[in-house]
Amino acid sequence: MSEEQNHIIRPYGDTTGDGMVQLSFTLPMPHSKVAEGAAAQLANKMGMDPALVVHAKPMGPDFTFFVVYGRVNHLVDTSKVEVVERDYPLLSPKEANLAIRKGLRRRLTVVGACIGTDAHTVGIDAIMNIKGFAGEKGLEYYRELKVVNLGAQVSVPQLVERARQEKADAVLVSQVVTQRDAHILNTREMSAAFRESYPAAKRPLLIVGGPRFDETMSEELGVDRVFSRGTTPGEVASFLVHRLVEKRAS
Amino acid sequence: MTQPGKLQLDPATVRQARSLAEKVGKPIVELAQQHTTVAVERATLRLAGLEGADADGIPWVNRLLDCVRADLGLEHGVALPVWDALVRGEADDLPTLAQKASAGSVRFRLPEGKEATRAKAASRKQVAAGVRRIDVRRAERDKLIKKHGDAPRKPWIYLIVATGDIYEDIPQAQQAAREGADIIAVIRSTGQSLLDYVPEGATREGFAGTYATQENFRLMRAALDESSKELGRYVRLTNYASGLCMPEIAALAGMERLDMMLNDSMYGILFRDINPIRTFVDQRLSRQIHARAGIIINTGEDNYLTTADAVEAAHTVTTSQLLNEYFAKEAGLEDWQLGLGHAFEIDPAVPDSFRLELAHAMLARDLFPDAPLKWMPPTRHMTGDVFRGYLLDGFFNLVGALTGQGILLVGMMTEAVVTPWLSDRDLALQNVRYVMDSAGKLHEDFRPEPDGFIANRARQVLGESIDLLDRIVDHENGLLDAIADGTFGLMKRPANAGRGLDGVAKKSETYYNPASEILEVES
């Protein structure tokens, strides 16, 4: 077999090169011969030929569920696969705790708040509360993180002062309300205040998050990282470890 | 009905566990009796019929209470000053008084002597009307169950909707009922438990759930009444009381005829960092209201197992169930209203995991033979391998069948992948039906070996739970200290910290609350 052929592959059912796949889906129509034909047609259009509709089950009067097996004619070229790598590894809580314990030899302190008039603590709570978000536990769950959640409507001077008191390694700010670009203005005010009151080398890591932020804006906002909609606590914890533990160690 | 006592637990040990739970719980009840909270006072105003919100969406109950508080503090309660103002003729009714007070044109005072008596009588009369409304709703439920019929079998099948938009939730809930749900739960928007007010009106935007509001309750209950009629069985509705507004939401649920409410004694403290005293005070009135409304509570023990190891922490579930039972009964709830929670969360890679699950579930069944336990499906070890997840859900259902669970939250093989698709729900219900039809009566034949693995494991967990209760009793300030030093899981929650603490006050000598007076169970 030549080099080239090695990275051209097909799905494997029970024989090399058979190209067999399985598929399940629902069509919004009552079960009938036509419905089964429609399922086969969809499978054909997806590149399955022949397509075997092995199971069709009515779900109520208006829907039918199908399981289809068949051979796909597509080839996959593994040399042409492109993946976007996150620039830091995703850690489990256990791994994050271990990294902090080994690398920092103390707990890592995170102070979080919603600043300005924003009363929506949903974002900061999803990340910080032990309850967490999207099936992941929040930062409070991490034994090696000391989490101080200041809640809503915290002023920038209050936040700076508390960060100093707690000797915060990182400050997390959530902004949900975006009227008149409040989230942008508040964030800039916050990052400027931290720059003013800390020498550059001592400043805590500044992280801002919210559903309407653009993740590429960190420089413009003067923060170290911007997280957008759908960010999970694990991603934030992994980033903290990456920037505060691993970089320090190396 | 399963016959209780399959594990043949030693009755003296069971009595010891219950008496320890009482010993732990009693000082907390006394503490609750000595304090009031902003949520308790707002619930009183809601029972008196004050609804709606100002132009900024701040509920009138919040506005009015804030005014009273600014003049007199929280410690005397809201009833005396508010009805004193009404009797004095400051306004014709509560909404007008709330508006005038917010505009700064009413000063509140604490009436004395005859004036206090008159204010008390007036407040009691008006709050009693709200309690009567709850009674009427309860009678209406009984009537509808008689008319349409009840769920045809146990366990009741519990399905969830959570779109964020009440007008999307409604057709989904009706479809879920058609597919076989006996109970519909509308998941609440993330973080509502931390709002110190109840949002108003029908809502169309939420975060991973739909806001609990009086209007949303009303709309969904009306829709499920239609479904009940269509399907010939009463479909129950569930929402969440937990959080900073427990008694208010309980009042709204009672007035809008919800049928079940999530209401845990410690969930808010441990998982939401709500102040312990605030939680216990709020919880007591909320449960008194549920008791009156004939609402079944669902407790949140499953949460312990999603954060701690399900084998190591099994006894924390039992301990919490015992405490939840004590607090519930003290508040007037009866056994049939105790949907005590537990969950199937042991790592399937652990040897004998199924036998351990069965032992834990059977222990709950034997300890609480007359409670409709709520059985929660696997979530932690659902990986995205939907095929394996489907098998795990089947085993979960089998434990449910073997232990006579009252309420079964249907496990989805796509847990941790997507919000359930139509086909996921259909497959999940097929799974439940297959297990119940094929093995639903297996419990009639099944007796664990008296000295076998299952019986021994159950005894061990009960023993550990008694040890834990003993340790709590040994703390100087009992449960409060135990919560503060992290006895429960990883969270340390001191009594002088946490959210909502500024909304707690020690009752003064003159404190009066007509709702508590009406709902207090004479013992």
What's the CATH number where A104 sits?
3.40.50.280
pLDDT band at A130 (very low <50, low <70, confident <90, very high): confident
Residue B230 lies in a domain: yes
Return the pLDDT at A214: 85
Catalytic residues of B, by residue number, are 267, 302, 374
Q: Which residues in chain B are closer than 8 Å to A65, comparing Cβ atoms?
A: 423, 426-427
A155 with A38, same domain: the answer is no
Is B9 inside a domain boundary? no
Looking at residue B490, its pLDDT comes to: 62
User: What DSSP line would sit under B167-211, residue for residue?
Assistant: HHHHHHHHHHHHHT-SEEEEPPPTTGGG-SS---S-----SSS--
Amino acid at B173: A
Interface test with A, best of B264, B271, B304 (most A CBs within 10 A): B271
Over 60: is that where the pLDDT of A249 sits?
Answer: no
> Going by C-beta distance under 8 Å and a sequence separation of 6 or more, which residues neighbour residue B518?
B124, B127, B128, B131
Cβ separation B191–A125 shorter than 8 A: yes
Q: Domain check: are B216 and B90 in the same one?
A: no
Residues B351 and B425 both lie in one domain: yes
A108 & A194 share domain? yes
Q: Does B156 lie in the same domain as B123?
A: no
Once rounded to an integer, what is the mean pLDDT over residues A188-195? 95
The answer to whether the CB of B394 falls within 8 A of the CB of B431 is yes
What is the Cα–Cα distance from A250 to B160, expressed in whole angstroms?
48
Would B487 be classed as within a structural domain?
Answer: no
Q: Are residues B192 and B290 in the same domain?
A: yes
Q: Which of B401, B339, B333 is CA-nearest to residue B374?
A: B339
Mean pLDDT of B219-234: 98
pLDDT of residue A60: 84
Query: In the numeric block, which tokens belong to residue B176?
Result: 């879920």
Residues B56 and B169 in one domain: no
Residue A63 φ/ψ, nearest 5 degrees: -135, 150
Q: Is the pLDDT of residue A4 over 60?
A: no
Domain assignment present for B506 = no
In a domain, A100, yes or no: yes
Token pair recorded at residue A193 = 């205040």
Q: How far is CA A48 from CA A11, A36, A44, B124, B387, in A?
A: 12, 15, 5, 73, 22
Q: Which range of residues forms the domain containing residue B55?
A: 35-127
Average pLDDT, chain B: 94
Q: What percent of chain B has pLDDT over 90?
A: 85
Residue A129 has its nearest CB partner, among B273, B415, B426, at B273
Task: Supply the pLDDT for residue A204.
Answer: 96
Residue B299: predicted pLDDT: 96
The reply to whether B373 and B435 lie within a common domain is yes
Looking at residue A120, what is its pLDDT? 72
Q: Are B422 and A121 an interchain contact pair (Cβ–Cβ within 8 Å)?
A: no
Can you give the pLDDT at residue B209? 84
Residues A198 and A222 in one domain: yes
Q: Tell me the pLDDT band of B326, cut-offs 50, 70 and 90.
A: very high
Same domain membership, residue A61 and residue A13:
yes
Does residue A107 lie within any of the structural domains? Answer: yes
Please report the pLDDT score of residue B489 as a whole number: 63
Q: What is the pLDDT of residue B1?
A: 38
For residue A44, is pLDDT > 90?
yes
Least confident of B104-118, B252-266, B291-305, B387-401: B291-305
Residue ranges of alpha helices (H) inside B232-313 are 246-255, 267-272, 276-293, 302-307
- The pLDDT assigned to A226 comes to 92
In this complex, do B190 and A133 lie within 8 Å of one another by their Cβ atoms?
yes
The residue ranges of DSSP E strands in A35-168, in sequence order, are: 48-59, 63-72, 76-77, 108-114, 145-149
Strand order through the sheet with A170-174 = A145-149, A108-114, A170-174, A205-209, A225-227
pLDDT digits (tens, 9 = 90+) for B428-477: 999 999 999 999 999 899 999 999 999 999 999 999 999 999 999 999 99
Residue A122 contacts by C-beta under 8 Å, 6 or more apart in sequence?
A176, B189, B190, B191, B207
Task: Over range B354-370, report the average pLDDT.
Answer: 97
Cα–Cα dist A82/A238, whole Å: 23
B240: confidence class by pLDDT, cuts 50, 70, 90: very high
pLDDT surpassing 80 at residue A167: yes
Residues of B within an 8 Å Cβ radius of A = 175, 178-179, 189-191, 194, 207-208, 270-273, 303, 306-307, 379, 415-416, 421-423, 426-427, 490-491, 499
Among the three residues A57, A79, A101, which one is the final residue of a domain in this structure?
A79
Is the entire prediction scored with pTM above 0.90?
A: no
Max mean pLDDT range (B190-199, B304-313, B333-342): B333-342
Phi-psi region of A127 (alpha: psi -120 to 50; beta: other; left: phi over 0): alpha
Give the count of alpha carbons within 13 A of B247, CB side only.
28
Domain boundary among B453, B471, B505: B453
Residue B381 and residue B261 in one domain: yes
Length of chain B: 523
| Residues ≥6 apart with Cβ < 8 Å to B150 | B233, B234
The overall average pLDDT reported for chain A is 89
CATH number, position B184 = 3.20.20.440
SS3 call for B243? coil
Q: What is the mean pLDDT of residues A86-90?
A: 84
Contacts of A10 (CB under 8 A, 6+ apart): A17, A18, A19, A72, A74, A75, A76
CB pairs under 8 A between A and B: 57
In this prediction, residue A129 has a pLDDT band, given cuts at 50, 70 and 90, of confident
User: Do A133 and A243 reside in the same domain of the chain?
Assistant: yes
| Shared domain check, A108 and A39 | no
Which pLDDT value is given to residue B522? 58
Supply the pLDDT for residue A118: 67
Q: What is the pLDDT of residue A84?
A: 55
Distance CA A170, CA B427 (A): 45
Alpha helices in B55-150 (DSSP H): 60-72, 79-87, 94-102, 113-148
Q: Name the domain boundary from A52, A79, A106.
A: A79
Asked, for residue A40, whether it belongs to a domain, the answer is: yes
- The complex's ipTM works out to 0.82
B118 and B252 part of one domain: no
Contact B190 A26 (CB under 8 A): no
Based on DSSP, count helices (H) and strands (E) in chain A, helices before strands. Answer: 9, 10
CA distance B172 to chain A (A): 13
Q: What is the CB neighbour count within 10 angstroms for residue A83?
A: 4
Q: Is residue A84 part of a domain?
A: no
Nearest residue, CB atoms, A26 vs list B189, B272, B423: B423
Burial category of B159 from C-beta neighbours within 10 Å (exposed 0-12, middle 13-18, buried 19 and up): buried
Task: Assess whether A60 and A135 both reside in one domain.
Answer: no
Length of chain A: 250
Rounded distance, CA B494 to CA B270, Å?
10
Residues A58 and A122 in one domain: no
The SS3 call for residue A199 is: coil
Q: Which residues constitute the domain of residue A31? A: 3-79
Is there a single domain that holds both residue A116 and residue A51? no
Question: What is the rounded CA–CA span in Å between residue B195 and residue B500?
Answer: 9
Nearest chain B Cα distance for residue A176, angstroms: 11
- Which DSSP state fits A22? E
**Residue-wise pLDDT tens digits, B467-522:** 999 999 999 999 999 999 888 766 788 999 999 999 999 999 999 999 999 999 65
Per-residue pLDDT at B303 exceeds 70:
yes
Please tell me the predicted confidence (pLDDT) of residue B273.
85
Specify whether the CB–CB gap between B318 and B461 falls below 8 A: yes
Structural domain tally of chain B? Answer: 2
The residue type found at A65 is F
Query: Do A172 and A118 sit in the same domain of this protein?
Result: yes
Rounded alpha-carbon distances, angstroms, from residue B19 to A90, B178, B196, B469:
47, 44, 35, 10
Q: Which amino acid is at B465?
A: S
- Asked if B369 and B68 count as a contact pair (C-beta separation under 8 A), the reply is no
Hey, are the CB atoms on B421 and A130 less than 8 Å from each other?
A: no
> Over 50: is that where the pLDDT of B3 sits?
no
C-alpha–C-alpha distance, residues A56 and A52, integer Å: 11
Question: What are A151's two structure tokens?
Answer: 């809640």
In 3D, which of B515, B480, B497 has the Cα closest to residue B274? B497
Count how many Cα atoms sit within 13 Å of the Cα of residue A40 in the half-sphere of its side chain. 13
**Active centre residues of A (catalytic):** 131
- Domain-terminating residue out of A24, A56, A79: A79
Burial of B209 (0-12, 13-18, 19+ CB in 10 A): buried
Grade residue B307 by pLDDT with cuts at 50, 70 and 90.
low
d(CA B206, CA A128): 19
Q: Are residues B84 and B164 in the same domain?
A: no
Of the candidates B265, B377, B312, which has an alpha carbon nearest to the alpha carbon of residue B29? B265
How many angstroms separate the CA atoms of B161 and B412, rounded? 13
Question: Does the pLDDT of residue B115 top 50, yes or no?
Answer: yes
**Residue-wise DSSP of B353-419:** HHHHHHHHHHHHHHHSTTS--EEE---TT--S-HHHHHHHHHHHHHHHHHTT-SEEEPP-TTTTTSS
Over residues A139-158, the mean pLDDT reads 89
User: Of the residues B453, B479, B510, which one is the last residue of a structural domain?
Assistant: B453
Q: How far is B243 from B282, CA to CA, in rounded Å?
A: 9
Q: What percent of chain A has pLDDT over 70?
A: 92
Choose one of B453, B480, B502: the last residue of a domain: B453
Could A125 and B423 be called an inter-chain contact, meaning their C-beta atoms sit closer than 8 Å?
no
The CATH code of the domain that includes A37 is 3.30.30.60
Chain B residue with Cα closest to A176? B207
Same domain, B114 and B242: no
When pLDDT is averaged across residues A16-23 and rounded to a whole number, the result is: 96
Same domain? A114 vs A236: yes
- Residues A59 and A151 grouped into a single domain: no
Q: How many domains does chain A have?
A: 2
Asked if A63's CB is within 8 angstroms of B207's CB, the reply is: no
A119 exposure class (CB count in 10 Å sphere: 0-12, 13-18, 19+) = middle
pLDDT tens digits, one per residue of A75-85: 999 998 876 55
User: For residues A142 and A145, what is the distance between their CA atoms, to the nearest angstrom?
Assistant: 5
